[in-house]
A and B are shown apart, each in its own frame.
Chain A
Amino acid sequence: KNQVEQSPQSLIILEGKNCTLQCNYTVSPFSNLRWYKQDTGRGPVSLTIMTFSENTKSNGRYTATLDADTKQSSLHITASQLSDSASYICVVGTASKLTFGTGTRLQVTL
């Protein structure tokens, strides 16, 4: 069964600190991997999309990495801000389907 597993389930960090979220997948045949940010009570918003040939992509303070050989991805957040508090969802796509992870809930505190 194609799956996307994210860790940790939740995370609390102090404002200004960095953090890294993990995504492991078994989806095949791989086409693309996306990271979305979902604020409470809102729809997901795309942060990055990577294809097989890309191993890193940045969007401001967000940097995603992809290792297609080990089927792992990470999302690194630099110098966190209170507005980064949200759920971060990893999504892996094939040509015919998107499989969504359950998300990592990040809370940034003062």
Chain B
Amino acid sequence: NAGVTQTPKFQVLKTGQSMTLQCAQDMNHNSMYWYRQDPGMGLRLIYYSASEGTTDKGEVPNGYNVSRLNKREFSLRLESAAPSQTSVYFCASRDQGAPYMGEQFFGPGTRLTVL
């Protein structure tokens, strides 16, 4: 039982390049989330998916797109990376129930640098 896995662990991009961050969970959870963590700031929600086939914007969605491919996988895409998107990105999941209640399980993070 691996929990929440994320790939890649590290990535360096040049401004304007695109990439997709992958997230998968093996806990049969319904809800999945993408957060970013910046120095001196708390984690901020980018997008979430309450169930397969649905996605909703969080606090900081601009510059990102998401896909809930199936119940297990939730990907985050940067179409045209900008230096302001340099951050650590965390994927999380939780089981049934309201998206902001109950325990969220986090992945190990992807450290992204945009030059």
Contact = CB atoms under 8 A, between A and B. Distances in A.
Interface of A: 4, 31-32, 34, 41-46, 49, 89, 91, 93-103
Interface range for B: 20 to 34
Contacts of B101: 31-32, 93, 95
Interface in B52-101: 59, 90, 92, 98, 100-101
Nearest to A101: B42
A43 B103 contact: no
A99 B105 CA distance: 16
B23 to A, nearest CB: 11
B45 interface: yes
7 contacts: A42-B108, A43-B107, A43-B108, A43-B109, A46-B105, A91-B42, A94-B100
Contact of A95 (B44, B100, B103, B107): B100
B47 interface: no
Given A31-B101, A43-B108, A100 B42 contact: yes
A98 B108 contact: no
